[in-house]
Amino acid sequence: MIKITKQALIEKLAKGAELPKKTAETALNTLIDTIMMSLKKGDKVAIPGFGTFLVRKSKARIGRNPATGAKINIPAKKKAVFRAGKEFKNLVK
């Protein structure tokens, strides 16, 4: 499995869109910031054919410490979630 870094994404974006790397970096950073700020506000970000970014709330629950078996309280929290779109799922199959 190959890990693609942010720098590699910038290079691919620059080459694919025929942009200078600095412009591609700005575009990628703006996209990431926009998605993060939208999720922070509780909005959902849908990119047709790719997927949807959204925030889900998990309920508070009681868990167990695996080392001791003692019960612990796990507080409610919000999680950022990515749900792949239909085309994305079919591509990965």
Residues 65 and 88 in one domain: yes
Q: Which amino acid is at 75?
A: P
- Chain centroid to Cα 93, Å, comes to 20
Residues 14 and 49 in one domain: no
Per the DSSP assignment, residues forming a β-bridge with 72 are: 63
Task: Quote the domain boundaries for residue 81.
Answer: 44-93
Q: Is the pTM of this model over 0.85?
A: no
Residue pair 78/39 in contact by the 8 Å Cβ criterion: no
3 state DSSP class of 12: helix
pLDDT values of the chain reduced to their tens digit, one per residue, 93 residues? 788 999 999 999 999 999 999 999 999 999 999 999 999 999 999 999 899 999 999 999 999 999 999 999 999 999 999 999 999 999 988
Q: Report helix angle 21-40 to 6-17, nearest 10.
A: 120
Residues 35 and 70 in one domain: no
What is the count of structural domains for the chain?
2
Residues 34 and 73 in one domain: no
> Which tokens sit at 26?
């700005």
Per the DSSP assignment, residues forming a β-bridge with 83 are: 52
Q: Which amino acid is at 19?
A: L
